[in-house]
């Protein structure tokens, strides 16, 4: 274990225990301490749901991206696990950015993430360079691959930026290969989604440009996810700098769902329907998993980059995840409902009817607690 990772684990263990349980939401995931953004590595592994997240344990503001980690049996009650990744290698010393997780054939869990370094230009300025790296572990401790990064600028299609090349989402294909989609910025300055393939999860090759924005929906497309659902192929992504279209896309940094057919020859998505995913102001960087019972379940960062200044900053932690949602496709639309595990929380019903509320001091027997539905 590197000194940087050990430091993060010690710090969060001490500081996280100072935050009382009642100072956190009952069901929404919060960082153990410090800052949280994008969900990462949402997966089912060794009988538990795992969720990693973009994490800065040392401050309630974005900086020095680590991977935080929580696990759950029911997607509602989460336990903290020590920090999974720290930016402790030359290729990721400016951050372990967003990514995903999958189980390998040998039973280990593979994490795939965006590793960020910087380069100095001729005029003396510096810029980020984004590559993709992997780490393997047992659900608690992870070791970075000694041949990282596994995808670099040489693996990009012509015109694609090595500055905006991030957020790999990995899955296992029906052909036995691993695949991942990655957000990219092409020469036109907008966004596109790249598709890559691997036989083992460590050695990758470019397959195609799966989908192109062509300056229709915002600019850079971040945090893509791609899966088959109810006979259709679904692409989820979070575009930056979106402009409203009627009732859609009012959040600036928003959400986009494209539903269509996959061309097996060209490996491109043929769009049929497009929609926003959430109409509130706090929903970004969605990620899904395929549950053991076949459900496609989605979670997201319950925050928006445009509203970060509006907050109370005395809690020791900042930001939280949405409640997970079950997805389906009907009549060309993405449908979302709360996970059915919530039903188990409803018991011992107490009901009052025709009660007149005259002031704020009304007390009703057995109506108490800190949660409400």
**Per-residue model confidence as pLDDT tens digits over 225-272:** 999 999 999 999 999 988 888 888 877 788 999 999 999 999 999 999
Q: Is residue 199 part of a domain?
A: yes
Which CATH number belongs to the domain containing residue 197 in this structure?
A: 2.115.10.20
Residue 273 falls inside a structural domain: yes
Contact 87, 96 (CB under 8 A): yes
Q: Are strands 34-45 and 317-318 parallel, antiparallel or unpaired?
A: parallel
Residue 91 has pLDDT above 80, yes or no: yes
Number of domains in the chain: 1
Span 291-321, pLDDT tens digits: 999 999 999 999 988 877 666 667 899 999 9
Residue 294 lies in a domain: yes
pLDDT the model gives residue 309: 66
Mean pLDDT of 65-90: 98
| C-alpha to C-alpha distance for 58 and 11, rounded to whole angstroms | 8
Tell me, yes or no, whether 238 lies in a domain: yes
Tens-digit pLDDT profile for residues 194-213: 999 999 999 999 999 999 99
Closest CA to 39 of 348, 260, 258, 299: 299
**pLDDT for residue 110:** 98
Residues labelled catalytic: 38
| 146 assigned to some structural domain | yes
Task: For residue 189, give every residue at least 6 positions away whose Cβ sits within 8 Å of its Cβ, in sequence order, or none.
Answer: 215, 219
User: Residue 103: inside a domain, yes or no?
Assistant: yes
Q: Give a yes or no: residue 326 inside a domain.
A: yes
Q: Give residue 369's pLDDT.
A: 83
Q: What percent of the chain has pLDDT over 70?
A: 99
> What are the Cα distances from residue 26, in Å, to 42, 79, 191, 261, 373?
20, 12, 37, 40, 12
pLDDT score recorded for residue 358: 82
**DSSP symbol at 345:** G
Mean pLDDT value across residues 272-301: 95
Residue 130: domain span = 90-345
Instruction: Give pLDDT tens digits for 319-346.
Output: 999 999 999 999 999 999 999 999 988 8
As a whole number of angstroms, the distance between CA 243 and CA 236 comes to: 18
C-alpha to C-alpha distance for 16 and 14, rounded to whole angstroms? 6
Q: How confident is the model at residue 368 (pLDDT cuts 50, 70, 90)?
A: confident
Residue 290 lies in a domain: yes
């Amino acid at each position: 274990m590197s000194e940087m990772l050990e430091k993060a684990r010690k710090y969060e263990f001490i500081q996280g225990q100072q935050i009382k349980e009642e100072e956190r939401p009952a069901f929404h995931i919060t960082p153990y301490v410090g800052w949280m953004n994008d969900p990462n590595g949402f997966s089912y592994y060794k009988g538990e749901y795992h969720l990693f997240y973009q994490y800065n344990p040392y401050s309630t503001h974005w900086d020095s991206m680590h991977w935080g980690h929580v696990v759950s049996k029911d997607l509602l009650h989460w336990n903290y696990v020590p920090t999974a990744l720290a930016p402790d290698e030359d290729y990721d010393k400016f951050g372990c950015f967003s990514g995903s997780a999958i189980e390998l054939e040998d039973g280990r869990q593979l994490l795939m993430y965006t590793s960020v370094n910087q380069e100095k230009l001729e005029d003396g300025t510096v810029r980020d360079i984004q590559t993709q790296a992997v780490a393997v572990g047992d659900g608690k401790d992870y070791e970075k691959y000694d041949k990282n990064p596994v995808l670099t600028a040489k693996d990009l299609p012509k015109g694609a930026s090595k500055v905006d090349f991030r957020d790999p989402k990995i899955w296992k294909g029906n052909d036995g290969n691993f695949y991942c989609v990655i957000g990219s910025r092409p020469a036109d300055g907008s966004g596109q989604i790249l598709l890559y393939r691997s036989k083992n999860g460590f050695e990758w090759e470019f397959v195609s440009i799966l989908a192109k924005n062509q300056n229709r929906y915002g600019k850079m497309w971040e945090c893509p996810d791609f899966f088959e659902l109810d006979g259709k192929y679904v692409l989820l992504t979070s575009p930056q700098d979106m402009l409203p279209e009627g009732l859609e896309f009012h959040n600036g940094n928003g959400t986009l769902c494209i539903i269509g057919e996959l061309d097996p020859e060209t490996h491109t998505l043929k769009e049929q329907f497009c929609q926003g995913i959430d109409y509130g102001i706090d929903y970004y960087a969605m990620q899904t998993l395929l549950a053991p019972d076949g459900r496609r379940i989605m979670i997201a960062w319950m925050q928006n980059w445009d509203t970060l200044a509006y907050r109370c900053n005395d809690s020791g932690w900042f930001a939280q995840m949405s409640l997970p949602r079950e997805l389906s496709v009907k009549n060309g639309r993405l449908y979302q409902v709360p996970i059915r595990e919530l039903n188990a929380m409803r018991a011992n019903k107490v009901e009052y009817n025709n009660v007149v509320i005259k002031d704020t001091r009304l007390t009703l027997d057995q109506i108490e607690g800190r949660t409400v539905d």
